[in-house]
Copies of this chain bind each other. A is one copy, B any other.
């Protein structure tokens, strides 16, 4: 159920300072480190996924520079404590800033937003041959 979606301007796919595959992997690895108050892994390994989408067309701010933008949205299951939600967001933000540091240097115009939503789904079903790989015997 932890579902992290990245929406971004396509100029980043042409930017040698941005490795989107490495960013996705880094974000997934960061998510796997998040633990709750009892020390349990918050996001089950088999359920972690990060999907990144470059927009085919975009407009940012006043359009006067070649602005870059990345929006990250984590949808997580309901019922976690405020501390766990904060930790999840902080963990993603820290991983993103570390991987994207070169984009925030002088003379570049880059925006990053990280938001976490609690899912409010009225229906939820899973069918998976990935989860069983990570279940304890």
Contact = CB atoms under 8 A, between A and B. Distances in A.
Instruction: Give the bracket for the number of chain A residues in contact with chain B.
Output: 35 or more
B56 A69 contact: no
Given A53-B53, A54-B56, A116 B123 contact: yes
A14 to B, nearest CB: 12
B58 A49 contact: yes
A133 to B, nearest CB: 7
A81 to B, nearest CB: 11
B51 A9 contact: yes
Nearest to A58: B51
B121 A67 contact: no
A74 B51 CA distance: 18
